[in-house]
């Protein structure tokens, strides 16, 4: 904060507070956005709770179908028992919440309504707003999720066998998943700079993700070729991997390796966001004259 009109209160404060550096600016932004998002989420808690409960229908359906098959086959399908499937789909509900990122459909509005122009005036790269706001939102969501998890556990009696390291890796991996998915959907959402009919493109991506992330079924139930395909795509690091990290009793190598893969995809995503953003912004300015 420099300059401005003499006598403004900020000027007085400026004498005592050192000028914020870039890092300091980030920290301030994140802390403030956390606070805003938390208050916002608490304010609409009833509506949000309905939303969360509505989201439970999906995993319960998958769980019932696959447990039925497991029971018919004498207790297990593809090596997974009903109890393990229950554990998978209960953790699923939290990972699904962590997966919520700024919607690709929101880009259309940002561009059409000119919100983007305001974003461009901010000194920080706009992705930080989205990351910070939704991260704060999730802090409340995690707390709200706990009672749901208790109820689901009582109803579906999952087989839980969790080590300390699993919990530690899971606690990191859900945030890694959030970042991977944020980058992915930022890049995809920016397609709205070029077309107002990006809907089919988004849907193709959603479908690929649904099938190859572990959201629909644990990846081990997919045919071999599909599993190999999932290995080279980012999706499984946003869904199947965090769940397996907590309940899959993965060896330490795989646990850490998974985090490394998340980091790799985050880096790739950041580079992708930067490149696409630069081209997109040039395009945006051109349209506006």
Partner 1 sequence: MAGREVLRPIVLAGRFFRIGALNELQYRANFAIQVFQSAIALGTGLAVLALVFSQTTELNGWSEPELLVVMGVHILMGGVIGMVIQPNMVRLMEDIRRGSLDFILTKPDDAQVLVSVRDIQIWQAVDGLTGAIVIVVAVAQLGGAFGLGQALLFGLAFVLGGLTIYCFWLILTVGAFWVVRIDQIVELFEGVYQSGRWPVTIYPGWLQVSLTFLVPIAFAVTVPAQALTGRLTPGTLALAAGFAIALMAFTRWWWRFGLRRYSGASA
Distance from C-alpha of 5 to C-alpha of 22, rounded to nearest angstrom: 24
- Closest to partner 1 by CB, 69 or 159: 69
Residue 160 C-beta: closest distance to partner 1, Å: 20
Tally of CB atoms within 10 A around 142: 12
- Closest to partner 1 by CB, 69 or 270: 69
Residue 204 C-beta: closest distance to partner 1, Å: 7
Residue 61 C-beta: closest distance to partner 1, Å: 5
Distance from C-alpha of 91 to C-alpha of 85, rounded to nearest angstrom: 10
- CA dihedral (189, 60, 92, 181) in degrees, to 10, reads 0
Using alpha carbons only, give the angle 276, 95, 275 rounded to the nearest 5 degrees.
5
- Closest to partner 1 by CB, 108 or 166: 108
Which helix (H) or strand (E) segment is 20 a member of?
A: none
- Closest to partner 1 by CB, 14 or 58: 58
Residue 199 C-beta: closest distance to partner 1, Å: 6
- Closest to partner 1 by CB, 64 or 267: 64
Using alpha carbons only, give the angle 128, 134, 135 rounded to the nearest 5 degrees.
85
Residue 211 C-beta: closest distance to partner 1, Å: 6
Residue 66 C-beta: closest distance to partner 1, Å: 8
Binding site for partner 1 (CB under 8 A): 47, 50-51, 53-58, 60-61, 64-65, 68-69, 72-73, 77-78, 197, 199-200, 203-204, 207, 210-211, 216-217, 221-223
Q: Are 159 and 81 in contact (CB under 8 A)?
A: yes
Residue 68 C-beta: closest distance to partner 1, Å: 5
Residue 250, classed as helix, strand or coil, is coil
Residue 233 C-beta: closest distance to partner 1, Å: 16
Show Cβ contacts of residue 205 under 8 Å, excluding neighbours closer than 6 positions: 188
Distance from C-alpha of 178 to C-alpha of 170, rounded to nearest angstrom: 12
Distance from C-alpha of 212 to C-alpha of 235, rounded to nearest angstrom: 6
261 to 16, 135, 264, 270, 279: CA distances (angstroms): 44, 21, 5, 14, 27
- Closest to partner 1 by CB, 104 or 217: 217
- Closest to partner 1 by CB, 68 or 161: 68
- Closest to partner 1 by CB, 58 or 115: 58
Q: Are 115 and 197 in contact (CB under 8 A)?
A: no
């Amino acid at each position: 904060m420099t300059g401005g009109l003499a006598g403004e209160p900020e000027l007085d404060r400026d004498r005592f507070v050192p000028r914020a550096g870039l890092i300091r600016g980030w920290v301030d932004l994140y802390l403030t956005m956390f606070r805003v998002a938390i208050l916002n989420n608490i304010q609409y808690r009833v509506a949000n709770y309905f939303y969360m409960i509505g989201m439970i229908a999906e995993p319960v359906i998958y769980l019932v179908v696959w447990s039925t098959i497991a029971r018919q086959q004498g207790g297990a399908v593809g090596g997974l028992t009903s109890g393990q499937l229950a554990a998978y789909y209960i953790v699923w509900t939290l990972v699904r919440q962590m997966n919520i990122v700024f919607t690709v459909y929101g880009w259309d509005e940002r561009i059409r309504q000119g919100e983007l122009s305001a974003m461009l005036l901010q000194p920080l790269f706009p992705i930080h707003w989205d990351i910070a706001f939704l991260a704060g939102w999730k802090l409340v969501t995690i707390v709200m999720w706990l009672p749901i998890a208790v109820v689901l556990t009582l109803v579906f009696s999952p087989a839980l066998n969790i080590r300390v390291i699993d919990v530690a890796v899971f606690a990191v991996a859900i945030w890694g998943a959030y970042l991977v998915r944020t980058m992915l959907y930022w890049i995809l959402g920016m397609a709205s700079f070029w077309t107002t009919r990006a809907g089919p493109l988004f849907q193709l991506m959603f479908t690929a993700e649904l099938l190859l992330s572990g959201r629909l079924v644990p990846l081990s139930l997919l045919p071999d070729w599909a599993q190999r395909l999932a290995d080279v795509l980012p999706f499984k690091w946003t869904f199947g991997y965090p769940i397996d990290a907590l309940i899959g009793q993965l060896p330490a190598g795989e646990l850490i390796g998974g985090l490394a893969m998340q980091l790799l995809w985050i880096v790739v995503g950041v580079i992708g966001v930067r490149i696409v953003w630069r081209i997109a912004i040039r395009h945006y300015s051109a349209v506006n004259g």
